[in-house]
Amino acid sequence: MSGIEDKVVAITGASGGIGEATALLLAERGAKVVLGARRSDRLEALAARIADAGGQAACVQTDVTRRDDVAGLVQLATERHGRLDVFVNNAGIGPISLFDDLRVDDWEQMIDVNVKGALYGIAAALPVFRRQRSGQFINILSTAGLQVYPLMSVYAGTKNAVRTISEGLRLEAGENLRVTTISPGFVHTDFAESMTDPDVKAQIIGTRDEMAIPPAAIARAIAFAIEQPANVDVGEIVVRPTAQA
């Protein structure tokens, strides 16, 4: 048996990109995946695809800016399987722009999804983990939080906020809980679709198409963190294209 088989794993932002790739890989390795995302049609299609391949998947429409939705995702996992082993805070958006553009609505959306969404995940899963005396958070960050570039300041700020939150959570977690952060570089997803500035969006898509790695590369990093023995806590993984500066 692998360290993944039979584990119950909840994933936000699971309808595409890194979330979808992670669901497919973990289900293939024997995990029972519980999937949440806003796009219910794509979510249901993914769950059906996993089931058709012999895996176990459940799903529920989840908007991470709504605390009740995130709580419902955890509730589905515990009602369906009696436990929750891993919560992957993956949902995120990045409508990046120059400060002078004053896209304040975009700033607020990034805070709501990237920061508050992750906190809602922690609030929903932590009591379950405490009762079980076991559990793992995996929070998806970004290399944008490691090296700040123009246009990305607010986005990087949200990711660094979750990095700080994650480290604080790890320090409070005690010997039974694990906390992992994963910082992807350019990944070939539809991440740019959240961008509201057409010129910036085109620039990011161009760079993505030149160098981006597949979402499966990040899924493998997530799997690596999960499959470690219970007394091994992988703190942080950075996965970027070789060509990325």
- 54-103 pLDDT tens trace: 999 999 999 999 999 999 999 999 999 999 999 999 999 999 999 999 99
- pLDDT at position 122, please? 98
How many structural domains is the chain composed of?
1
Question: Is residue 2's pLDDT more than 80?
Answer: no
Give the domain extent around 74: 8-239
Let me know if 149 is a catalytic residue: no
Q: What is the CATH number of the domain that holds 154?
A: 3.40.50.720
Per the domain annotation, does 244 fall within a domain?
no
- pLDDT at position 190, please? 87
Segments in the chain forming alpha helices (H): 17-28, 40-52, 67-81, 104-110, 117-132, 153-173, 198-211, 215-227
Per the domain annotation, does 138 fall within a domain?
yes
Q: Answer for the pair 55, 5: CB distance below 8 angstroms, yes or no.
A: no
d(CA 176, CA 165): 18
Per the domain annotation, does 245 fall within a domain?
no
The residue-averaged pLDDT of 28-56 equals 97
The residue-averaged pLDDT of 23-27 equals 98
Question: Is residue 1's pLDDT more than 60?
Answer: no
Catalytic annotation, pick one of 129, 155, 186, 191: 155
Per the domain annotation, does 25 fall within a domain?
yes
Residue-wise pLDDT tens digits, 205-227: 999 999 999 999 999 999 999 99
